[in-house]
Amino acid sequence: MASGKTATAKALSQVMQTPWVDADAELERSYGSTIETIFKENGEAYFRSIEREIVQELLASNYRIISLGGGALQDDALVDYIKAHSYLIFIKPSFEVIYERLIRSTHRPLLTKELEDADNEEIVKNRLKSLYLGRLQKYEKAHITIDVQESWSAHYVALQILEKLTHDTSA
């Protein structure tokens, strides 16, 4: 949810010199349609089912770094699958940072609906915060959480992840 997952995955890929993939981009490529269109035409339940398939395929592939969409972890079975086959890392900036990123975004299907339904920006902010807080419990199931400061670059976040992966005995 606008935490910087894609930028961090790219940076981590460079630092580790290993391939990475964005699950949402791979889903769009595989299905020949945008996520927004899939949401509009088939609904969220259908989208989540194909998202699960794509993520499971990617985990079995040669990609060592996979950037997930913000809602992917709503599927408990997928969370368990990811944790059994890989390390799950939660990149955690403050909600205010996430909100600023989201409000500037033009390609988020759930946000598009929220903006269409809202009477003012404060309503949107409250709905987004509620969505974030609802997802937070799922996100916190990750092996590693990186509390990201607003000023941190994606490269610095990648270095923090690498440090945790190589030195944290709980990972």
Domains of the chain: 5-159 (3.40.50.300)
Q: What is the pTM of this model?
A: 0.84
pLDDT band at 28 (very low <50, low <70, confident <90, very high): very high
Distance CA 139, CA 86 (A): 15
- pLDDT for 89 equals 96
Rounded average pLDDT over 55-64: 92
Rounded average pLDDT over 34-55: 92
Tell me whether residue 54 is exposed, middle or buried, using C-beta atoms within 10 angstroms of its C-beta: 0 to 12, 13 to 18, 19 or more.
buried
Rounded average pLDDT over 59-82: 92
Average pLDDT, the chain: 89
Q: Could you please report the per-residue DSSP string of 27-43?
A: HHHHHTS-HHHHHHHHH
pLDDT band at 168 (very low <50, low <70, confident <90, very high): low
Q: Which helix (H) or strand (E) holds 49?
A: helix 35-59
pLDDT above 50 (res 171) = no
pLDDT above 70 (res 108) = no
- pLDDT for 154 equals 95
- % the chain with pLDDT above 70: 91
Distance CA 75, CA 19 (A): 25
Centre a 10 Å sphere on the Cβ of residue 112 and count the other Cβ atoms it contains.
15
Rounded average pLDDT over 137-164: 94
